[in-house]
Structure 1
């Protein structure tokens, strides 16, 4: 415990906040699981509760294979888990949050997912893309230092980010469909005419992601 506290104190404020949110998400999954065994009629999403316990630590598992992500992106991931998993699925806000007579939480979550996907794409671009190295000067109150950054076309960056956002949106729809079929959920409105719900979700994420891509396209 002392080692954990010392490590916690050494972390930055963002890293501490991310760790607290991660633990709260995991503990909420544990609490929901316990309530399932107390009252399985009301708390009947056992598989979702178990997934909620695991998902917060996915970035840590990915880091084990030398795929590191920034603290800001990890924090954004944790916040998205709160929105999508804890509130959306575990507490059934996808179905129960009604705005103007329509269950709107799904579109809210997908719109925010577009923002998260855009930042994820930007991070992948900065860390994986082997473009030309460029040196920029960073000045502070005490001294001036040089920082090496990747230089790439803003048009390419915009296209990559937008494409990635739409890819993640489509992949999320596949997850929703699989979850509904395997776990008896209702993430997709299967009674909606045609594929309006699926396309609406992808378009919502695409619009927000495209707006973010416009601002993120420059290094």
Structure 2
């Protein structure tokens, strides 16, 4: 499919990916092979959105790719650069905020895609609730992961109940930010045009233009 020409902002994503690769090289040369491996996995994860959307008739906005890259880079540098300890506890909360915004944007993208590609009809309230619940579920899963590693491998990822609860509150704040953005964006008259920014319009030719079928529930909300 032919997506619109990307904005110059896409080069910011390339820059972040290059910095992650530098983290990989630094970790390996310093003999920190596990950190190098983890940073390498993070770099590969930054490539997943492009690989998944390339042959799926989708156009993921470059801003979403940038958020994914930044959230992974912050996590990598938290360990490689020791920022989790050096700037504790603020750096950890920053990574949670950026990561939760990223997850919430992906949830928004998934909801928009489901409505555009299939027969699902979602109200604006349903999309907002989905963003909130999906992001909080992802945050809870991350806390379970940290707890499991601490209990089985003796790591020190969690620092008590207060730390865990503050992390989840920060996750909720990130979800609320995106939910508000989604509610405002979907309330605009250009709702259908906005939705089609995420996908190739030719992928669903049965759907009319914005001024097409007035009985379309997506346009009545």
TM-score (norm 1): 0.68
The 5-angstrom pairing of residues 58-207 of structure 1 reads: 58-61=45-48, 63-64=50-51, 66=55, 69-86=60-77, 88-98=78-88, 103-129=89-115, 152-180=122-150, 185-189=155-159, 192=160, 195-207=161-173
* 4+ aligned runs moved over 6 Å, structure 1: none
The structural deviation recorded for 1:61 is: 4.0
Q: Is the 8 A contact 2:111 2:127 kept in 1?
A: yes
Matching residue of 1:145? none
Matching residue of 1:214? 180
The structural deviation recorded for 1:153 is: 1.3
TM-aligned CA distance change 1:126 to 1:168, over 3 Å: same
The structural deviation recorded for 1:104 is: 2.5
TM-aligned CA distance change 1:185 to 1:23, over 3 Å: farther
Q: Is the 8 A contact 1:115 1:208 kept in 2?
A: yes
Higher share of residues assigned strand: 1
Q: Deviations over 1:93-114 (max 9, x none)?
A: 222214xxxx322222212222
Long gaps (5+) in structure 2: 187-221
Q: Is the 8 A contact 1:94 1:187 kept in 2?
A: no
SS at match of 2:30: helix
Q: Is the 8 A contact 1:30 1:53 kept in 2?
A: no
Matching residue of 1:16? 11
Higher share of residues assigned helix: 2
Matching residue of 2:38? 51
Long gaps (5+) in structure 1: 1-9, 37-43, 134-149
The structural deviation recorded for 1:163 is: 0.6
Q: Is the 8 A contact 1:47 1:183 kept in 2?
A: no
User: Residues of 2 paired with 1:96 and 1:182: CA distance?
Assistant: 25
Greater relative contact order (CA < 8 Å, ≥ 6 in sequence):
2
Q: Is the 8 A contact 2:24 2:37 kept in 1?
A: yes
User: Residues of 1 paired with 2:152 and 2:29: CA distance?
Assistant: 22
Two-structure CA RMSD over aligned residues (Å): 2.9
Q: Deviations over 1:59-87 (max 9, x none)?
A: 5346545565432211111111121221x
